[in-house]
Amino acid sequence: MQEVSHSYLEELNDTQRKAVTTLDGPVMVIAGPGSGKTRVLTFRIAHIMNSGVAPWQILALTFTNKAAKEMKERIERLVGSGANKIWAGTFHSLFARILRVEAHRIGYPNDFTIYDTDDTKSLIKEIIKGMGLDTKAYNPNAVKSRISSAKSNLITPKAYEANADLMNYDRMNRRPKIFQIYDKYVKKCLRAGAMDFDDLLLQMFKLLYQNPDDIKSKYQSQFQYILVDEFQDTNFLQYEIMKQLVKYDGSKENICIVGDDAQSIYSFRGATIENILQFEADFMNVQTFKLEQNYRSTHHIVEAANGIIGYNKRQIEKKIWTDYIGENKIKVIKALTDSEEGKRVADLIIEQKNRFSLENKEIAILYRTNAQSRVFEEHLRRQNIQYRIYGGLSFYQRKEIKDLIAYLRLTVNPKDDEALKRIVNYPRRGIGKTTIEKLVQFADDNEVSMWQGIPNIELSKRAQNLLAGFAGMIASFRKKNQGGINAYDMALFIARKSGILELLKSDNSIEGLNRVENLNALLDGIKEFVEDDELGDGENPLEKSLSVYLQNIALITDMDEDKGNTDVVTLMSVHAAKGLEYKSVFVVGMEENLFPSFMALSTPNQIDEERRLFYVAITRAKDLLTVTYANSRYHFGQMRFNDPSRFIEELPPENVDSIIPIKAKPEFGEPRVLGGIKPRLKQRNVLPKIDVSGFVVAAPNEIKEGMKVLHMKFGEGKVVSIDERQVASIHFTQLVENAEKRIMLQYAKLQILE
DNA sequence: GGGGGCTATGGGGGG
DNA sequence: CATAGCCCCC
């Protein structure tokens, strides 16, 4: 037996050490900002490994993949080797990895597509339009967030319809049919073999809960130790998954959660502080440790943070303190315009760099909304200060990148309707809007993906040939892809054969050249992925297929990318700054309607969350904190006037320099009031209510011309004709428009009436 | 079916 | 300001 060194324990204070060495049973660590939380987590994992536990038996759920990567590197240095085999990453990426192996057990292909926000939105929009509803009343964003929140709370479409609170809420907001959209959305995703971000959690839960082939015990016994970072930002569903993994007969319940209720800033995506309270109720004998000493910031910053958070009721009792007495108070700067704000921040950065010999990378500008980055960019560039913006439009969201990726997605999973719609006519091959609409309708009627509809839909000869040509190309890509080709060779082949590369190269404008460059950068990235010789769990090189590549990039964010050692000022949203620290921090745009956001003004709970967000913002600073606001700023091309943020007044005066407590009155430019909702409904099919109990599905070959049949969705109809591809034309008596539908017998659920 | 120009309209944070 | 969606023309 090798001698194990525990010398790292000497680097910890008493509470930290207890949090690291208490390995058995449920542990809760409440960790104030700058209290050495990351250190505790890494040391704890190292300690678990030193106690003889294999790295792959440890599940560490972090907030970003970058945090997981850094943690693994630090653990590697502490314990020698093996740290790369720890299951560390975000909920989404780790569950995607598991589902890639297990999805077939719950009705999904293992090669499932991950739908991003744009895919989700466009699908929801398609459904709304398909139902003849108005996209103004049924704002796709609003609908998406209702669906997302339903999924995060384990509410199925059926349960949604049966839930009086949800239905009343939707009725009050004039969106009574959200439950139907939700239902269609779920079905369409399944047909497309696609999971959205919420599904990565929801399907993981289903896998464990439904427990096909006793799969649950496999993961329960694998993950002997579970750690969850930023627990305050997990939602109900994430917590339920954790419980599936940890709570069972004979479990040692070795789970450690680390969080800070004061830094809970993600309730908009379903995170709930209740989880912290619930944890103590769900687990017996939870051992709680509170890390209250702040090692990061000056007393001015810590006291200001305490002062701010004191305005919030209801929090876990704790007192964050520091023995770091700083010289510089918090600076509050008022600017007349947003542009002046940008200039003053840039000037002050120059001044601070000289006076305190700061490097660019020790400085960050934090804002409430990504749209605010522009003025700072402008002025930093003017002053020749290197910077980097995180968040906003990422590389993978550029059009030319998404186009090629859509081809790759379709090659891996041809049922991916969103990918198909995107590129079926790009580059142009004469397949127009009408054809695509018909294909969408046909696929919907037959409850299949568009890809499955292509060989069976009846269109003009021309349209049919064009579609067949496209399908043939994709089929040839698929055939090539199944021959064990790596992702790079495949992607290059597709970029050439699809005509994308050629099309982009024919554009000699600056933007065109840029696009070619971006596409090449994407191909380089794929090459890098292929050549990376990182080892997987079983010491085998990780698989380099297109499918694995797509899974990797679907969950990548700006934050995960290496900044390298470049010396740049960081610009990012406050949300993105969670967990980070800088010597000098500028929190900008501190105005009513912006921070706190106008969306939050009417709800006390949301104001509290904005306040926690401000708390997170200021506690990123180690030495210097500057808070700025502007009397006027451009927003959507309009000049707007805002009062200074209430949070500025909440800063304790003794920790602040040069505060100017003037409440500017708006002179003109009152906020534009959005108009009322004007529903504009066309006469549409109202689908008949069909009693599905006692429904007898007929075999495809039993259906004959002239028969009267019952369809699950469209009700009674008469079979007009059946063609050689087994597509039947059926006239449905209860439909108002497009009563004659073409239905694929292979998939149709029809009952013979007479 | 495709392209170009014009208008109306969003309104946050992110995996 | 940015862009989706519409209208009109080829």
pLDDT tens digits, A505-534: 888 777 788 889 889 999 999 999 998 866
> What average pLDDT does range A352-356 have in this prediction?
97
Task: Give me the catalytic one of A620, A633, A640, A742.
Answer: A620
By the 8 A CB rule, do A587 and A574 touch?
A: yes
- A633 φ/ψ angles, rounded to the nearest 5 degrees: -155, 155
User: Has A37 been annotated as catalytic?
Assistant: yes
A315 versus A630: which is more confidently predicted? A630
Q: Is 90 exceeded by the pLDDT of residue A159?
A: yes
A426 Cα distance to chain centroid: 27
Burial class (CB in 10 A: 0-12, 13-18, 19+), A129: middle
Question: Cα(A71)–Cα(A48) distance, rounded to whole angstroms?
Answer: 14
Q: How far is CA A366 from CA A78, A390, A475, A580, A614, in A?
A: 33, 10, 48, 11, 10
Q: In whole angstroms, what is the distance from residue A642 CA to residue A217 CA?
A: 56
Does A637 contact strand C, using a CB cutoff of 7 Å? yes
Quick one: pLDDT at residue A556? 82
A636 Cβ within 7 A of any nucleic strand C atom: yes
Given a contact cutoff of 8 angstroms between Cβ atoms, the answer to whether A554 and A116 are in contact is yes
Decide if A203 is catalytic.
no
Average pLDDT, chain A: 89
Closest CA to A89 of A58, A59, A66, A68: A68
Residue A18 CB in 7 A reach of strand C: no
Report the distance separating Cα A302 and Cα A615, nearest Å. Answer: 10
The set of strand B positions with any atom below 7 Å of a protein CB reads 1-3, 10-15
Predicted confidence at residue A403, as pLDDT, reads 93
Omega before residue A596 within 30° of 0, cis: yes
Q: Which residue is nearest to nucleotide C2 (CA to C1')?
A: A636
CA of A564 to C1' of B10 (A): 36
Asked whether the predicted pLDDT for residue A668 surpasses 50, the reply is no
Say how far apart CA A577 and CA A221 lie, in whole Å. Answer: 35
**DSSP letter, residue A737:** S
Summarize the confidence of residues A498-503 as an average pLDDT: 90
Query: Between these two residues, A97 and A692, which has the higher pLDDT value?
Result: A97
User: What Å value separates CA A423 and C1' C10?
Assistant: 24
pLDDT, mean of residues A283-296: 96
Question: Poorest-confidence range of A652-666, A672-686, A711-725?
Answer: A672-686
Sequential DSSP letters for A73-123: HHHHHHHSS-GGGSEEE-HHHHHHHHHHHHGGGGTS-TT-EE--HHHHHHH
The Cα–Cα gap between A299 and A321 comes to 8
According to the model, what pLDDT value does residue A688 have?
Answer: 64
Name the residue with the least CA to C1' distance from nucleotide C4: A122
Distance A125 CA to C5 C1' (A): 13
| Nearest nt (C1') from A600 Cα | B12
Q: Residue A434, CA: closest nucleotide via C1'?
A: B1
Residue A38 among the catalytic residues: yes
Return the half-sphere exposure (C-beta side, CA atoms, 13 A cut-off) of residue A636. Answer: 3
pLDDT of residue A562: 64
Which residue, counting CA atoms, is nearest to the C1' of nucleotide B10? A636
Catalytic residue among A18, A21, A22, A38: A38
* H/E stretch holding A634: strand A621-635
CA of residue A428 to C1' of nucleotide C7, angstroms: 22
- Looking at residue A585, its pLDDT comes to 98
User: Chain C positions under 7 Å from a protein CB?
Assistant: 1-2, 5
Query: pTM for this one?
Result: 0.90
pLDDT of residue A8: 86
Mean pLDDT to the nearest integer, A727-736 = 83
Nucleotide nearest A129, from its CA to each C1': C5
Q: Where is A401: in which H helix or E strand?
A: helix A399-412
pLDDT at A738 over 80: no
How far from A463 is each of A204, A439, A458, A513, A729, CA to CA, in Å? Answer: 41, 11, 9, 33, 19
β-bridge pairing A363-367 and A569-573: parallel
Beta bridge partners of A130: none
The residue-averaged pLDDT of A254-279 equals: 92
How many Å does it take to go from CA A585 to C1' C9?
55
- pLDDT value at A543 more than 60: yes
pLDDT (average), residues A102-122: 95
Question: 3-class DSSP state for residue A446?
Answer: helix
Cβ neighbours of residue A614 under 8 Å, at least 6 residues apart?
A308, A574, A587, A595, A645, A647
Note if A77 is an active site residue: no
Nucleotide nearest to A374 (CA to C1'): C1
Catalytic residue among A102, A196, A230, A341: A230
Helix (H) or strand (E) holding A330: strand A330-337
Taking the C-alpha atoms of residue A643 and residue A124, their distance in angstroms, rounded to an integer, is: 37
How far is the C-alpha of A99 from the C-alpha of A64, rounded, in Å? Answer: 19
Q: What is the model's pLDDT at position A291?
A: 97
- Nucleotide B15 C1' to residue A192 CA (A): 21
Beta bridge partners of A751: A710
Residue A665 pLDDT level (bands cut at 50, 70, 90): very low
CA of A639 to C1' of B8 (A): 19
Catalytic residue, candidates A64, A263, A411, A628: A263
Return the closest nucleotide (C1') to the Cα of A391.
B14
**For this structure, is A229 an active site residue?**
yes
Of A263-267, A654-658, A701-705, which one has max mean pLDDT? A263-267
Residues 122-181 of A with CB under 7 A from strand C: 125, 135
Mean pLDDT of A203-224: 97
Helix or strand holding residue A311 (H, E): none
* Per-residue confidence band for A3, with pLDDT thresholds at 50, 70 and 90: low
